[in-house]
Chain A
C-alpha cells in the first residue's frame, strides 16, 4: 500500500510543474544569472597586488607582531603577491585610502568587551574599511571575514582549554596559513579559482532547498478534508493518515532531491563553480537541506485551519525572512542575529543550512561541520514530528 501511495504521489509531484519550477528552474536560472554577472571576475587570471593599510591599536599591551608580513606571504599562481600590507597610523591610513594609495584599511584591535570576560585571552577583532566596490575590496572583505572566523574559532577553543597567551598567538599565526589554505580564500587567492563569489552560490543552493517546502506543503494540504475536497477521500480511506502523509512527503522529497541535485550538478559541471569541500559533503548537505525544506513545508501545512493560499503565504514569509536573517541576502546578517538572538539561528532552517555550508566552506570536514549536519537532521525530525502530532487527528470542527 505504501509503495502505491509513494508512486502515485511521486507522479503527482512530478506533474506539479510549479513546485518543480521553483526548485529546479529557479536554481538554474538564478545560477546562470549569477554566473553571467560574475563572469568578469572569473575571466581575470591575475590581479594586481592589493595595497592595504594595517592599523593596529588598543592591544592592551599584547604583542601582535608580524601580522603584516604574514599577509604579504600570500601569493597568486604566478608568484605575484596578493597583498602588500603596510602598518601605519590611523590618520595616515585614512589619508592613503582617500588618495587611492591603498584599497582598504584593516583595523586590528583587542575586543575590550570579550577581554573583560576573560583576561587570559586576547580576543582579536578585525575590521575593514574600503572606499569603493571592486574585486580588490571583495577579496579584502573575504580575507578579513575568514581571518576573523578563524580567530573566533580559536578563541572558542581556548575558552574551553585556556593556555598561555603566546601559545595562543602561535596558533593564531598558524591560522593565517590555514586561512590561505582554506576553501574560499585558497580559491580566491592562490589561483585555482579566482572566484570570490562562491558564497552566493552556496546561498542559492540553500534557497533552492528551502523552496522544496512549497511542494511538501501542497502535497500535505491535499490530505486535509477541511481544505481540499480530495482530502475527504484520503481521510475516509481505511489507512493511517500519518503514514499516508509521510509516504507522500517521502515521494516529494525524492523528487525534490533530484531537482536540487540537478541544480548542484549544473552549477558544478556546467557553470564550473568550484565549491570548497568534497562533492560528497556538498551533496550530503544539499540532501539534508532538501529534507529540512520538505519538513518545513510539512509542518506549515499543519499549522491552523487556513486554506492553501494563506499557508503558502506563511511559508513564503518564513523562507524569505529566514533567508534574510540567515544572511542569504544581506552579508553578515547571520552574525548579527547570532550576537543578539542566537536562538533564532538555531530554529531558522535557512540559518541551519547556511551554517552547514559555511562550516564546510570555512573549516572543511570536522567537528563543526558534523555539528551543523547533525543539527539539520535534528531540526528536520523535529519539524516532521511536530507535523505528525498536529496532523494525526482526523475529525474537524468544521469543513
Chain B
C-alpha cells in the first residue's frame, strides 16, 4: 500500500436505534482501487458519506490526505471527486454545460477549464451528446455524464458509489474501463458496490463489509485463499430427488450442496479436479444432466462463508430461496 490517503478509525454512526457503522476502520493507500463490497444496507454509502463529511458521525476519526476531514476542509475537497449513486446533474443544462459548471466550481482559469471539460467529455465518450440535456440520454449515458461531472477537475481521490447500478452491460464495461484508466493516470479510487464481479475485475484491494463492520480485507486472491471452498461444480439437471442431493453431499471433499431452479451447485474443499468424482457418481446412478462445469470460488463464496448468506440474498424474493444442504448439519434444513 502506498502513502495513506484515507484513514478511518473506529467509526461509529447511529441512526437513532440502528447502528449503521459499528467501530469501522479502513485505510486506503495512494494509487489503489479500493473496493468496498457488501450487500445493500451494509454501510458502504454511509462510510463514504462520513468520509466526505456529508454525514455527521457519533465517534471515530477520519483523515484524508493526512488531515482531519471536516465540511470546511476546502483544500482537501479540491483534491476529491465524487460520483454519487444517483445521477447528480442539472436537468435544465446540457451535457457540456453540466460538466463545465461542475468543473468551474474547482477550476478558475477559463482556458484550463475548457481543456478539462473537453477531456472529460472525450474520456466518457459523450462527444456526440454535448448539446443534449440529460433527459434525452439513455441510462448508461447519464451514468457517464455523472462520472464526467465527478472527475472533470482531475481529482487525486475519486469516490464511486455503485456507479453501474441499472446500467446495460456495454455501458457498464465502459464505466469499469474508465475507472481503471483513471487509476492508471494516478487517481486513487474508492469503489463501493454489491457486485462482486466488478470488484474482482478492477479492485487492487477489497474490503468486505456487512452490518456496519469490516469482515475481511485483502486482494481478491488473498480473500479467496482464506476460505475452505476450493472449487464449485455446477450441474444443470432436472428434477433431482432430495435423497440424491443428500447422497452427493456425502461424496469426498463435498461440504455443501445447493439445488435451485434445476441447477445443482456442489461446493468442494481441499483441492480442485472434483468434477471427475462427481461425473462418476452421476453416471453410476444414471442421473441425466444437461451440462456440467467447474468454477473457482468467487468473492460471493468468501462472503457466504463469513456471513452464512450470499451477497445477492438481499435482492432475492423469498420463493426463490434455494434448497441448500451442508455437511454436518441436520438434513433437510434450509439454510438460505
B71 touches A (CB below 8 Å): yes
Chain B residues whose C-beta falls within 8 Å of the C-beta of A397 in the assembled complex: 15, 55-56
Q: Cβ of A343 < 8 Å from any Cβ of B?
A: no
B49 pairs with A399, CB closer than 8 A: yes
State whether the Cβ of A230 lies closer than 8 Å to any Cβ in chain B.
yes
Task: Pick from B45, B55, B77, B108: contact of A236, CB below 8 A.
Answer: B77
Nearest B residue to A222, CB-CB: B90
Docked CA distance A1–B108 (Å): 7
Query: Is A396 touching B101 in the complex (CB atoms < 8 A)?
Result: no
A7-25 residues at the B interface, CB under 8 angstroms: 8, 11-12, 15-16
CB of B243 closer than 8 Å to a CB of A: no
Q: Which of A15, A229, A230, A395 is in CB contact (< 8 Å) with B55?
A: A395
- Taking the closest CB of chain B, its distance from the CB of A179, in whole angstroms, is 51
At the interface, yes or no: A116 with Cβ under 8 Å from chain B? no
| Per-residue interface assignment for chain A, residues 210 to 234, with 1 indicating a CB less than 8 Å from any chain B CB and 0 otherwise | 0000000000001001000111111
A238 adjacent to B82 (CB under 8 Å): no
Query: What separation, in Å, do the CA atoms of A180 and B90 have in the docked complex?
Result: 56
| CA of A237 to CA of B149, assembled, Å | 12
| Chain A 263-302: CB-based contact to B (< 8 A → 1; otherwise 0) | 0000000000000000000000000000000000000000
Interface presence of A38 (CB below 8 A)? no
Q: Provided the pairs A233-B102, A233-B149, A399-B55 are in contact, do residues A11 and B93 lie with their beta carbons within 8 angstroms?
A: yes
The residue of chain A having its C-beta at the shortest distance from the C-beta of B104 within the complex is: A4
With the chains together, A1 CA to B306 CA distance in Å? Answer: 50
**Chain B 16-51 interface residues, beta-carbon cutoff 8 Å to A:** 45, 49
**Is B293 part of the binding interface, using a Cβ–Cβ cutoff of 8 Å?**
no
A393 contacts B by Cβ under 8 Å? yes
Which of A11, A233, A394, A396 contacts B88, CB < 8 Å? A233
Q: Is the CB of B86 within 8 A of A236?
A: no
Give Cα A4 to B110, complex, Å: 11
Q: Please, how many angstroms separate the alpha-carbon atoms of A237 and B82 in the complex?
A: 10
In this complex, the member of B86, B89, B92 whose beta carbon has the largest number of chain A beta carbons within 10 angstroms is B92
> Measured between C-beta atoms, what is the minimum distance from B179 to chain A in Å?
18
Interface majority SS (helix, strand, loop, mixed), chain B: loop
Give Cα distance in the complex from A5 to B78, angstroms.
Answer: 17
| B residues 60-82 in Cβ contact with A at 8 Å | 71-72, 74-75, 77-78, 80, 82
CA of A235 to CA of B84, assembled, Å: 12
In whole angstroms, what is the CA distance A236 to B104 when docked? Answer: 13
Contact A16 B56 (CB under 8 A): no
Q: Which residue of A lies closest to B52 (CB)?
A: A236
Decide if B289 is an interface residue (CB 8 Å cutoff).
no
CA distance A233 to B89 in the complex (A): 9
Rounded to whole Å, the gap between the CB of A47 and the closest CB of chain B is: 52
Partner of A232, one of B54, B74, B78: B54
Chain A residue nearest to B86 (CB atoms) is: A229
Whether A313 sits at the interface, judged by CB under 8 Å, is no
24 A-B pairs with CB atoms under 8 Å apart are: A1-B105, A4-B101, A11-B97, A15-B92, A229-B87, A229-B88, A230-B89, A230-B90, A231-B88, A233-B88, A235-B71, A236-B80, A236-B82, A237-B102, A237-B105, A238-B106, A393-B71, A394-B53, A394-B54, A394-B71, A396-B55, A397-B56, A398-B55, A399-B45
4 pairs of A and B residues whose beta carbons are closest in the complex: A394-B71, A238-B74, A15-B92, A237-B105
